[in-house]
Chains A and B, each alone.
Chain A
Amino acid sequence: MIEFRHVDFSIDGNAILRDVSFSVARGRTTVILGPSGSGKSTILRLLLGLYHPDAGSIFVDGVDVTHINASRWREIRSRMGMVFQQGALFDSMTVGENVGYALLEANGDDEVEVAPAVRHYLELVGLDPYLIDRMPDQLSGGMQRRVAIARALAARDPMILLYDEPTTGLDPQSAERITDLIVQLRDQQGKTAIMVTHDIPDAFKVADAMTILEQGRVVFEGSPDALISVSTPFINQFLAPFRTAMGAASRRFEAATRRGAPPRTDPQRGGTP
């Protein structure tokens, strides 16, 4: 379980987060949405102890992490896997060393021993295991992103996963594979997750709960269904592109059905709707 209670945070006197409260139930996935600069990544950094709140408390599995010492932090962090927004792959290490990073740290750099696990996690995110000896800068941006996801999953089998825009910059197939994976990790392994994204369809696909930020404040917390029925100016504006797209798609669908043609024609079987 993760909970933020009235968290304030500022950098150099600029308020970044103001009175942020929300919670993520165990085994659930919460999506954090919000415009660029609204403080989404900052929330994940606070959760990892990379930043410390000015006021309020943060709870991880019932422990108030606001005032714990360095060794307690290491223990708390070991339960979390983080996918950084920019990937943050270690560029002096190979793909294999990146994905196996936590395992190599634990077993004293025995690469032969961790290779099978590394291959398994690469396949899980849809990457060819032959990439294991490449350097990160020899991969495309989308491939780097997936290596970062594999690295987070391989880390000491974390029960909490933090994804900072995991599908941004991926082609639709890869993005779908990642969102499927996030859903699957929750359903089959009971992982708790926070996913930050700009992609509203992706958000609806994975979210059990949604938190929307605007300029460092929480303006909505609730289920995806509840979000649909909310109508404040900010949320209307925020969801407008999505609603328009959905509306257009459903109008096209209806029009096509009225004409008696199925939305996707199959020439072999003819045009039966």
Chain B
Amino acid sequence: MPVIRAILERFRSVVEGVQDLTLFTVETLRALFSRPFYLRETIHQLHFAAIGSLLIVLVSALVAGQALAIQLVRELANSGVKGQLGHFMVISVVRALGPVLVGMVVASRMSAGITAEIGAMRSSDQLDALVAFGTDPIRRLVVPRVIALVIALPALTILGDALAVIGGGWVGLQYHLPIESYYAGVFKFLTPKNLLVGMIKPFAFAVLIAIVACWKGFRSEGGAKGVGVSTTQSVVIASVGILVTDGICTRLIFRLLGW
């Protein structure tokens, strides 16, 4: 019986969490479309999200692109269609791997950073101090972070996609695939539809990462230890959330496109 009670208790807290997150999201959306707007904070956050994540995104995309290409090129060579590497790379990177990979890398960095920062502000009464000074903390802290990630993540995804594809071309070269035929395949299948499938997802991921991270920071309790717990939860929710969102987005988009 205690087991069942514990499970019910856990279920209830998850439901309450979802409810609270929904309210937080609604509040954030409302704040997005009203003044004042904190431009300086937004630019600062954009710099932190975009420039700060650039190097790790580029490196991981290049390495992951190569790893994928090595797997593909062997199978393709066995079937005698090595020349299709560009085609396969662009489809798998732009439509599937790129957005998720870049989303995960950015999530691990930004979720932790945002939740820890806001959680520390919560535990040192800085959020209350903002309210006391007449500032809406959602407008001041959450909105700039959401906007920054909504701009940064798609941009980083484009760069990550490009680096992964370039990495694939390099692998092709090692397997004696001429660079021209690789890129011919790449550009032939870099169609608006394929781009659409890949580029809708980063917007959804960005909103997910930013809102969950801020929410966990706002709700963190119990000092430094509490901030640690919230930070962990924030990274986990964002990572799992990206995979789930990816699945849902892919199905939805495929249905919309009639594929």
Contacts and interface: CB of A to CB of B under 8 A. Distances in A.
The judgment on whether A and B are partners is yes
B19 interface: no
B131 A48 contact: yes
B125 A88 contact: yes
A74 B36 CA distance: 14
Interface in B102-138: 117, 120-121, 124-126, 128-135
Contact of A105 (B124, B125, B132, B135): B135
A74 B134 CA distance: 5
B154 to A, nearest CB: 26
Interface residues on chain B, size class: 10 to 19
B255 interface: no
A74 B132 CA distance: 8
Contacts of A92: 117
A58 to B, nearest CB: 15
Interface string B189-206: 000000000000000000
Contacts of A198: none
A132 interface: no
A102 B126 contact: no
B40 A109 contact: yes
Contact of B128 (A45, A101, A155): A45
Interface in A68-92: 74, 77-78, 80, 82, 84-92
Interface residues of A, number: 23
A105 B134 contact: yes
A77 B126 contact: no
A45 B121 CA distance: 17
A102 B134 contact: yes
A168 to B, nearest CB: 15
Contacts of A102: 133-134
A245 interface: no
Nearest to A85: B125
Contact of B126 (A78, A91, A109): A91
B124 A88 contact: yes
- Chain A interface main SS type: loop
A170 to B, nearest CB: 19
A87 B128 CA distance: 11
A50 interface: yes
Interface in B188-236: none
A105 B129 CA distance: 14
Contacts of A91: 120-121, 124, 126
A15 B36 CA distance: 38
Contacts of B120: 91
A78 B129 contact: no
A105 B121 CA distance: 19
Contacts of B133: 77, 101-102, 105, 155
A77 B132 contact: yes
B125 A84 contact: yes
B125 A86 contact: yes
A88 B134 contact: no
A263 B40 CA distance: 59
A85 B124 CA distance: 10
A90 B135 CA distance: 13
B70 to A, nearest CB: 44
A82 B132 contact: yes
B131 A50 contact: yes
Nearest to B134: A74
Interface of A: 45, 48-50, 74, 77-78, 80, 82, 84-92, 101-102, 105, 109, 155
Given A50-B132, A84-B129, A90-B121, 19 more contacts: A45-B128, A48-B128, A49-B131, A77-B131, A77-B132, A77-B134, A78-B134, A84-B125, A86-B124, A86-B125, A87-B124, A88-B125, A88-B126, A90-B129, A91-B121, A92-B117, A101-B133, A102-B133, A105-B134
4 nearest A-B pairs in the assembled complex, by CB-CB distance = A88-B125, A88-B129, A82-B132, A84-B125
